[in-house]
Amino acid sequence: MNRRTFTGGLALVLLAAVAPLWAAASLNGAGASFPYPLYSKWFDVYQKKTGVKINYQSIGSGGGIKQLKEKTVDFGASDAPLSAEEEKGMPGAVVHIPMAGGAVAVILNVKGVTKPIHLDSASLAGIFLGKITDWNDKTIAGCNPGVTLPAQKITVVHRSDGSGTTYIFTDYVEDISAEWKTNVGKGKSVKWPCGVGAKGNEGVAQMVKETPGAIGYAELAYSVQNKLVFATLKNRAGQWVAPSLKSTTAAIDAAAKTLKANIKASVVNQPGAASYPIVGVTYILAYTNQADKEKGAALKALLNWANTSGQEYCDDLLYAALPAALVAQNKDAIASIK
């Protein structure tokens, strides 16, 4: 039985059971742009099925966390889990519910380059540290024998807003580069050594598309929508791997045990020959104790649907559906919302 559909019947039963409580409800959410293509599809389908309207603002993970803290939304969305300090600053206990997996693609706009090129750890870190400044640099050329790379200046494009995509990307670069770990580190916002900023995954993808010589990072769906060339990266098994549904799913499957032990754990650089290395899960964040009974019931129904029937929509939008173990774990987490 397909793991994406085996609990679909349960979701429908749950919807029917609580329908009287939330039939007239609407929900407001804000946060990550990383899952926006998926959330946009989910919320449209869900409204048509139930009549419940979900207003979602794609403002970046940092903005979503801020609005959740201020209680101006019913749920927040982030690709970065709350830090211990952030959790302490919240006015109530918050539950993390992973909704899907996604890949961060390294996107390029290089003169004459129409197919993916290889970037190893030294190349990627060197570019974003500002130490490699030209596309025909010998470090990049050494990864791409037989490929003609232009004498073109590199423009690094990064996020200007607090971003879970940045958290996943910098988490990976920190893992592969001691210099990055010492001098830059990881976070939703970091002090970038070089480059120009753009807002949201949408903004980074658009700026890379419009800027000759540019390199940036964005969730895979954005690179495909904008028809951008991306890099293949060397994973832990020593294989060159491109971002794809298959390689994202392989990484999320490999991370299932890690996430079962700690739902906030990093899942970059997972083992396995097929695993793409810059992968993360995207979370819905919600208060365990809901102040509004009707909205609380509506939120739980939405989350149960997304965790089960909603997973069927992941593949077409290039997100990795959750492994069965995480679906079961989420069920318990959703049930904890009161």
Question: Which CATH number does the domain housing residue 328 bear?
Answer: 3.40.190.10
Asked if 97 and 108 sit in the same domain, the reply is no
Whether 268 is in a domain gets the answer: no
Q: What is the pLDDT of residue 83?
A: 93
In this structure, are residues 206 and 226 in contact, taking their beta carbons and an 8 Å threshold? Answer: yes
Task: Say what the pTM is.
Answer: 0.90
Q: Are residues 122 and 231 in the same domain?
A: yes
> Is the residue at 201 inside a domain?
yes
Q: Which stretches of 132-229 are DSSP H helices?
A: 138-143, 164-176, 178-183, 200-210, 220-225
Same domain, 145 and 89: no
pLDDT tens series, the chain, 338 aa: 444 443 444 444 444 444 444 454 799 999 999 999 999 999 999 999 999 999 999 999 999 999 999 999 999 999 999 999 999 999 999 999 999 999 999 999 999 999 999 999 999 999 999 999 999 999 999 999 999 999 999 999 999 999 999 999 999 999 999 999 999 999 999 999 999 999 999 999 999 999 999 999 999 999 999 999 999 999 999 999 999 999 999 999 999 999 999 999 999 999 999 999 999 999 999 999 999 999 999 999 999 999 999 999 999 999 999 999 999 999 999 999 99
Please identify, among 261, 294, 316, the residue that sits at the C-terminal boundary of a domain.
261
Give a yes or no: residue 49 inside a domain: yes
Q: In total, how many domains does the chain have?
A: 2
Q: Which residue range is the domain that position 124 belongs to?
A: 104-261
3 state SS of 106: strand
In-domain check, residue 195: yes
Indicate left, alpha or beta for 90 from its phi (over 0: left) and psi (-120 to 50: alpha): beta
Q: What is the pLDDT of residue 173?
A: 98
119 lies in the same domain as 204? yes
Examine residue 132 and state whether it is found in any structural domain, yes or no. Answer: yes
Is residue 294 included in any domain, yes or no?
yes
In this structure, are residues 103 and 35 in contact, taking their beta carbons and an 8 Å threshold?
no
